[in-house]
Amino acid sequence: MQIHYNIELKKKLCEDICLHGKSTSLSAKQYNVPLKTLEKWITAYNKNSHCFDPKVEMINDFKIIDKPSEPDYNDLSNDELKSILMKKDIEIARLKKGYMVKEGGTGEKVFITFSKKNTK
């Protein structure tokens, strides 16, 4: 059974041992942590002293500009759904053949071929 220890405990023990010179074996006994586990934490702390800092999750509210928003398919009529499905089938067929279509600067369609060097 694997035991998960609190990040604050890991950081406190590593700071006590590395910065304040406390005994590794006594700290392991006092907090009921296996000595080998504590030594791994100390090694990680010595490599990066911020490894046990609380993780801050960044939320990105930016949207990708090039990606068109998908329509709500529940609100579309049968003809509109058939049109979307046909366009997707054509795009799949083009990709299977090894080229894709992008619009050039003037609005005309430009065919781009994939070579095996570029796709790997």
**Per residue in 50-89, pLDDT tens?**
888 877 666 666 655 555 566 677 888 899 889 989 988 8
Tokens encoding 80: 């509109």
Cα–Cα distances (Å) from 99 to 26, 84, 86, 104, 118, in that order, read 66, 20, 18, 15, 12
More confident residue, 51 or 1: 51
Residue 21 lies in a domain: yes
Residues 34 and 13 sit within 8 Å (Cβ to Cβ): no
Residue 62 lies in a domain: no
How many residues would you count in the chain? Answer: 120
Residue 56 lies in a domain: no
Residue 109 lies in a domain: yes
Residue 1 lies in a domain: no
Structural domain boundaries enclosing 113: 73-119
Number of domains in the chain: 2
pLDDT of residue 120 exceeding 80, the answer is no
Tokens encoding 18: 């590395």
Residue 66 lies in a domain: no
Per DSSP, helices labelled H in 1-120 are 7-18, 24-30, 35-47, 78-97, 116-119
Claim to verify: residue 43 and residue 77 sit in the same structural domain: no
Q: Quickly state the pLDDT bin for 116 (edges 50, 70, 90).
A: low
Claim to verify: residue 77 and residue 115 sit in the same structural domain: yes
